[in-house]
Chain A
Amino acid sequence: MAVRVCLGFLILLLHSNFSTALYEDQVGLADWHQKYIGKVKQAVFPTQRTGKKRVVVSTEENVIASLDLRTGDIFWRHVLGKDDHVDQIDIALGKYFITLSSEGSILRAWNLPDGQMMWESALYGSTPSKSLLFVPANTNLGKENRILVFSGGWLHAVSSIDGEIIWKKEFAIDRLEIKQVFQPLESDIIYAVGFVGSSQFSVYQLSSKSGEVLKHNTASFPSGFCGEVSLVSSDMLVALDATRSALISISFQSGIINFHQTYISDLLQDFSGMAALLPVKFTGMFAVKTVSGICLVRVKGVSELEVIEKFNHPASVSDVLTISGEQQAFAIVQHAETKIDFKVKLDKDLRNDVLKETVEMDPQRGHVQKVFINNYIRTDKSHGFRALIVMEDHSLLLVQQGEIVWSREDGLASIIDSTTSELPVEKEGVSVAKVEHNLFEWLKGHVLKLKGTLMLASPDEIAAIQAMRLKSSERNKMTRDHNGFRKLIIVLTRAGKLLALHTGDGRVIWSLLLPSLHRSEACGHPSALNIYQWQVPHHHAMHENPSVLVVGRCGPSHDALGVFSVVDSYTGKERNSLKLAHSIIQVIPLPLTDSTEKRLHLIIDANLQAHLYPRTRDSVNIFLHEMSNIYWHSINVGKGVIRGYSLRSGCNLDVVDEYCFNTKELWRIVFPSESEKIATTATRKMNEVVHTQAKVLADQDVMYKYISRNILFVATVAPKAAGEIGSVTPEEAWLVAYLIDTVTGRILHRVTHQGAQGPIRAVVSENWVVYHYFNLRAHRYEMSVIEIYDQSRADNKDVRKLVLGKHNLTSPVSSYSRPEVMVKSQSYFFTHSVKAMAVTATAKGITSLQLLIGTIGDQVLALDKRFLDPRRTATPTQAEKEEGIIPLTDSLPIIPQAYVTHALQVEGLRGIITIPAKLESTTLVFSYGVDIFFTRIAPSRTYDSLTEDFSYALLLITIVALVAAIFVTWILSEKKELREKWR
């Protein structure tokens, strides 16, 4: 009976933590959220009075945003769809922000103050072409402005007030490419200029009222054009010829087309190779980019070109900015080691600079990539200039008066991979101060604090003390904590920059723009691929700092040579970098470490040869010992083939390389191309811990989980159904889910879902896989779970056998034994589509699991794994209820309190990463997209620690009171006894 009651209480306890929600005042205690926009592509500065403090930008992450020029904060922001790339932006009517996106097919207007969409027009073209946007400068506000959009072979005139298409005109001539569309100020004629083929130049003059062609002239130029043009004035263009070595100035005044060719070598003596025209808008001049640098050329007449200035690389030139009437200005930014030179010139006086400033620049930001210039009126009524600068690491800076006013670390909007690192241990005898600051700063801090307590501090100092307190408060310390909540998250961004974020508040501890991923002669288009744990000292080599391995590639193709870089996790210094002599197809971190705790990595190259790193004697000895038990697999999605390999010594190289190994194909699975196409694959996380191998059922029966590190989940779909949802009928669509053992290539389980379609998201953990797809028959999203159990050990149930040792639980498990598995599966409807899926991970794997689902609303939803139990039945028995089985429902519940991100949105969510904390009940969750978000969650509540709002004072008071009461009563009783005795 007592056991029953106990059990009942336990179940009650278990049931009580279905949803773990936060109170409002707990938001931000354990979590942080950072908003980003991505690398800025274009920026425009509103000139109207109210918008002068702002800048509107479009970025490579398809974000449009309005930023505060004073602080860099986001006023408003919209993340457009994944394929909705912003091509052109401009401002119309002084109050609308116009974007042309999706290859010129969608034109939208947004209200500048609050970012609301005012109108949207879909523009249909017939042929794919470059999209051009021209918003005529409005001289008088009352007049209706027409936005000219060229896209898909059509020229559209769109009303800027409501987005209505007023007229459209097709340029249906074969091979015609319109390069520029413009309307001179105060003119009713629209010019459209372009090339037909490679050698014909064509000018159209259209009426701005109706779009009819008023005049059409063509002229051909025998040596051809390469396609790049730069508009110099309303009747003159400069183009590059087909060999990119000569400039052709074209004038088309009043219908007469004149060509004049100037060789670049005549202008620049040291010119060689190819030139390119920079896409900047100037009047009366243009910019040419050559191998050696950027060159500004003034156009005096058709035949008269004059070089104004030459800058060596790296440099960047801004668009021209019209200031007060006729004057025009532009900015040039040049990089000089750790400084940048910012110069502003007026077009009237090109020889001299109006403004020349030198700004100190963090070398970890790389070179200047883009510059946008803006002017303001100084206090002394003169013109001041500020510049928005986009750096190589995608960060955005505002430079004014020779200082960086603000900077945004927008590279964090494009995280491609991440890993974690423990912080240094707080050593006995060594003050924390030593880890954090030097002695002087430590002393200064204490003096400040003393001042604060003596009430001598000025407001500035009080703020400094506050900041220091925040920094040294428990969650933001730079040392390891007992619960394992404080860690470093090391992220790799698309720009090839490594950043270490502190889990306490998300601040950047260090950043490193990887020098090995810098563009160089040997490495043309470097790209970062992945980040791995390289060295995690915990038993040996404790005095060494941990380090991470960054793997990159020198070009876009798979056979490009690899780059390899080891970075210290504490200091952010590159310890070692290598240019590999082979390509990188796959990196396999092995579960082996050498004597200095460096993890062994196998890198598979394009010739299917495996290279072992680190290249030391020690590692090769360890590796050779385990080589016969190492298998790997490759998945060829295009061909629909999965192959498994083993390794053997020796390589087919000219030179003897003992770190190179040959591979041998062991198995091959071929999906028939007419019926199946690989959609998704998923494997278990390498560092996952499983606490128990057995599952005890309500009827005292035991099921053994089939726990294998080598399980691979593959989902294939019908090739016809590989497209969008709804593109096929349910009869034509199916989804096949496979569980494959990657050592032997055995298909352990295979199941077909008729009428199901991707996109598929899957997560594998322990002995189960959960995958999400669309059910065309039910018109709903569905989630399926497959649990796999080992039958070969199912006999080990008899206690006597276990006691006598007659069981096979301790014998090694071989993949070559014929698997006897039992599979249980179940499907449930789910309301949302899913962007990413992950599962919580805890230190010992005891805590019950939760699925973390990135929803379409860019939030992270925690769903208890018990909802995805294949053993759920509609009417569970009492015993099953006690086991914690939830009655079967057809759809999975979405509990509003279960949103891990509570009210926040992680815009453009791409990935969710879970990191176990040292405290068993807690998982750290890091999710990233355009924004980043970090929190810690406890799937079964923090059963192993007291909550933060636990009143220690009350406990202490109670204890003290009790002790006091004991003493008082004791004294009283003594006295009484004495009295009794004296009576």
Chain B
Amino acid sequence: MRSLRPTSLLPFLLLLLLLFFSFSSAFQSDELLQDDEEFGLEGAPRSPDLDHPSPTRPPPRRRPNPDFSSSVSSSDSKSVQFVLEHAFGDSDFSPAGTFTARLKSWSHGRQTLTKLRFSRNALTEAEKAVFERLLKDDDFYRIRVPSNVLSPPGKDYVLSSVRARCIPRETLDEHFVIHMYGVNILAVNYGSAGACQYPRLLNYPAKWSFNSYTLLKNSEEAPRTPTFAEELLAGESGLGEGVKPPEKSFWAKYWMYLIPLGLIVMNAITQAMNMAEEPTAGQPASQGQQAVAQRAPNAAVRRR
């Protein structure tokens, strides 16, 4: 047995632990078993932050020791490969790269893929030229993968495409999300790694090499419908005292009485204040009246 570098041993131990854990439990949970969002690239961060997955080329690392792996998971996992093909505009499909993944068989008979890796073939000069023309025309760059990874092409090919001008940045950045069901590929979400501006401008990449991000995706399980049957029953049994109205503050309860009361009180106060002022205010008023009274006879006299 060859010795393994300690850096690569750690993930393996982790995987072993994971496998062991899932196999040891005889209880079949209805929780989704497969790891959902797994970046196929080794060394890619496992953070759920999909916005900036660090771009890494598939490192030319040694394949894991087959003996070692078989001793661990007892031939439950084997390696499978399937080919990515591409076409430029209307051209025919030609091989462009290879996906490699581990096929895992579960105790209940289902097979799933894990640890997806992707190696892109380098673009040939001819392909580069075609790609440049594609960029100029803003035509479609199309890819396809077999719909069944065990017996390609399975039922059919799964096709996807993107406007060629969405791909180039520094390098040619592409992003694959492969939707799987068991060993079947349903669909490939293929496109640029980030946003694609519209209108799409023509710019060429600095480096004519692909920078690929791949992601395997299985279906999420819908959460169970919440049931409150027990609570409802409990509520029904104690029908009388079950629901108590929430305690309200004094103000909240009686504001409609308090406000008019306050108004009345205020009114009364102002009236009382007026009453207090009356004697002082009364004098000038009576003086005025007297003045009028005095003037009136004069007026009468004048009229006469």
Contacts and interface: CB of A to CB of B under 8 A. Distances in A.
B216 to A, nearest CB: 13
Nearest to B157: A668
A667 B159 contact: yes
Q: Which of A669, A752, A826 has the most CB of B within 10 A?
A: A669
B184 interface: yes
Interface residues of A, number: 51
A744 B227 contact: no
B126 interface: no
A814 interface: yes
Interface in B188-222: 189-200, 217, 219-222
Given A669-B187, A747-B187, A782-B225, A646 B140 contact: yes
B18 interface: no
A325 interface: no
Interface string A777-816: 0100010100000001000000000000000000111101
Contacts of B229: 890
Interface in A749-783: 750-754, 775, 778, 782
Contacts of A814: 166, 195-198, 200
Contact of B159 (A628, A668, A813): A668
Given A744-B160, A775-B225, A675 B182 contact: yes
B222 A752 contact: yes
Contacts of B156: 641, 668, 670
Contact of A889 (B138, B190, B228): B228
B147 A670 contact: yes
A818 B175 contact: yes
Contacts of B142: 666
A818 B184 contact: no
A752 B199 CA distance: 37
Given A751-B220, A818-B175, A673 B225 contact: no
Interface in B219-275: 219-229
Nearest to B142: A666
Contacts of A889: 228
B163 A816 contact: yes
A889 B232 CA distance: 10
A211 B113 CA distance: 67
A380 to B, nearest CB: 74
B194 A827 contact: no
Contacts of A750: 179, 217, 219-220
A747 B176 CA distance: 12
Nearest to B162: A816
Q: Which of B177, B186, B228 has the most CB of A within 10 A?
A: B186
Contact of B186 (A671, A812, A983): A671
A622 B303 CA distance: 96
B5 interface: no
Contact of B228 (A628, A643, A669, A890): A890
A818 B191 contact: yes
B223 A827 contact: yes
B50 interface: yes
B225 A668 contact: no
Given A667-B161, A670-B186, A812-B198, A817 B219 contact: no
A665 interface: yes
Contacts, number: 147
Contact of B194 (A672, A754, A817, A826): A817
A817 B163 CA distance: 10
A721 to B, nearest CB: 15
Contacts of B158: 668-670
A676 B159 CA distance: 18
A816 B182 contact: no
Interface string B169-188: 00000010101011011110
Given A753-B222, A818-B175, A818-B192, A744 B182 contact: no
A665 B156 CA distance: 14
A747 B190 CA distance: 10
B92 interface: no
A890 B192 contact: no
B123 to A, nearest CB: 21
Interface residues of B, number: 55
Contacts of A666: 140, 142, 159-161
Interface in A736-752: 736-737, 740, 744-747, 750-752
A818 B195 contact: yes
A813 B198 CA distance: 7
B225 A816 contact: no
Contacts of A778: 225, 227
Given A672-B186, A675-B181, A750-B179, A664 B140 contact: yes
A746 B186 CA distance: 11
B277 interface: no
Contact of B222 (A628, A827, A890): A827
A744 B155 CA distance: 21
A829 interface: yes
A817 B160 CA distance: 14
A827 B138 CA distance: 43
Given A666-B142, A818-B175, A751 B155 contact: no
B67 interface: no
A820 interface: yes
B51 interface: yes
A828 interface: yes
B278 interface: no
B219 A736 contact: yes
Given A666-B161, A670-B158, A890-B226, A817 B195 contact: yes
Nearest to A753: B222
A776 B83 CA distance: 40
A889 B191 CA distance: 41
Contacts of A818: 175, 191-196
A975 B62 CA distance: 112
B90 interface: yes
Contacts of A820: 50-51
A736 B191 CA distance: 24
A751 B221 CA distance: 6
A555 B175 CA distance: 46
B30 interface: yes
A914 to B, nearest CB: 28
B159 A754 contact: no
Contacts of B193: 818
Contacts of B160: 666-668, 744-745
B142 to A, nearest CB: 7
A79 B154 CA distance: 47
Interface string A851-892: 000000000000000000000001000000000000011100
Contact of B225 (A664, A747, A752, A829): A829
Contacts of A668: 144, 156-160
Contacts of A672: 147-148, 155, 181-182, 184, 186
B220 A664 contact: no
Q: Which of B90, B155, B217, B222 has the most CB of A within 10 A?
A: B222
A828 B225 contact: yes
A262 B266 CA distance: 116
A778 B222 CA distance: 14
B217 to A, nearest CB: 7
Nearest to B194: A818
A825 interface: yes
Nearest to A629: B198
Interface in A616-672: 628, 641, 643, 646, 664-672
15 contacts: A664-B140, A670-B156, A672-B147, A675-B182, A744-B191, A745-B161, A747-B177, A750-B217, A751-B221, A752-B221, A816-B166, A820-B51, A825-B222, A889-B228, A890-B228
Given A675-B184, A751-B222, A827-B222, 20 more contacts: A667-B160, A668-B158, A670-B156, A670-B184, A670-B186, A672-B155, A673-B155, A676-B181, A745-B187, A745-B189, A747-B186, A751-B221, A752-B219, A816-B166, A817-B166, A817-B191, A825-B222, A827-B225, A829-B225, A890-B228
Q: Kindly list the 4 A-B residue pairs having the minimum CB-CB distance in the complex, ordered from nearest.
A: A668-B159, A672-B184, A816-B196, A817-B195
